[in-house]
Amino acid sequence: MEKKPFFTGTFLQPDLGLTSWSELLWNKEFRDLKRLKMEIVIVQYTGGGERAYYPSKLSWFSHSYNLLDSIMAAAERHKINIFLGLYLNKDWWSNYKNIKYLRAELKRNQFVIEELTRLYGKHPSFRGWYIPHELGNLPYLSWCQRRRLAWFFRSMAKCCKSYDATKPVSIAPFFSSQVNLAWFGRVWYQFLKNSLLDLVMLQDGVGCKRVTIEQSKIFFAEMRKACQKAGLELWGDLEIFEQYHGYPIDSLSFAAKPGDINTIKKQMEAVYPFVSNLVCFEYNHYMSICRGEEERRLNLNYKREILSFQ
């Protein structure tokens, strides 16, 4: 029987609700990840605005939580590998073209990287780094703007590697179906070739309705060429939710529900030939047995429809 694709990991998006989770809940969560054959968790960010999701002593954090301590303890207990996300300022989307903003964001992250390395650098579950500053409009930007962003990401990667050159540094860009395919590939190759990055986890954009499944297949094929030429590894970051409010659907705040298992299967099959690994966005909010009925239903359907064929 031909082996079918499955998720080997998931993103984890921190929020205040998770800061109150007990050790029992985290153990239940990570135990189920192992049952689902997921062995990688990418913590999307460890700080944002004035909040740190780890016990930070940096002055600009007015609130620090021990969430990351709980995650790392559960990961060690259940032998899960962790990618640590960096600090993400909420103003990224309105300021990513501004060189003064990029310099300030880089400086803060340099302190965060140093602090995370001191706290968790020797932790047995620490696998790599994730830069949470998402890029989606890269092919639409001017040469000068792309050059500034290339400097920013290369500087972030260089700082991560200065503490441990063996830890891979990753990003998770997204894309729009409107961009010219050949231009998409050229721009990403130019961006990646000297970036010091190791891994691209390309978002498929299906759950948030930016693209169709067939369109995602085409763009993954093009990104694979760019990554291979630049010497990077390509993973698929697949959305297991279905967005029903927010851009590009309407002007309301983002809202989504767990996706349909048949759609998720098609998403996986579409991009699987072009990637070396599949991760999802994201288990905790859309497929966790520690959540509600819809999330548990998707979890059960995933086990029945996907894992039963492994």
- Strand 63-64 with 81-85, pairing: unpaired
**pLDDT given for residue 208 in this prediction:** 94
Query: What is the pTM for the complete model shown?
Result: 0.97
- Identify whether 131 is part of a domain: yes
Rounded-to-integer distance, Cα 58 and Cα 213, Å: 43
Task: Tell me the residue range of the domain where 151 lies.
Answer: 9-309
- Identify whether 250 is part of a domain: yes
- Identify whether 15 is part of a domain: yes
- Identify whether 3 is part of a domain: no
Rounded-to-integer distance, Cα 264 and Cα 286, Å: 12
CATH number of the domain where residue 33 is located = 3.20.20.80
Q: Name 140's Cβ contacts closer than 8 Å, sequence gap at least 6.
A: 179
- Identify whether 225 is part of a domain: yes
**pLDDT given for residue 248 in this prediction:** 83
Q: Structural domain tally of the chain?
A: 1
The secondary structure of residue 136, as a DSSP letter, is S
- Identify whether 137 is part of a domain: yes
The secondary structure of residue 97, as a DSSP letter, is T
**pLDDT given for residue 220 in this prediction:** 98
- Identify whether 28 is part of a domain: yes
- Identify whether 151 is part of a domain: yes
Rounded-to-integer distance, Cα 168 and Cα 83, Å: 9
Q: Which residues of the chain have pLDDT under 50?
A: none
Rounded-to-integer distance, Cα 76 and Cα 127, Å: 12
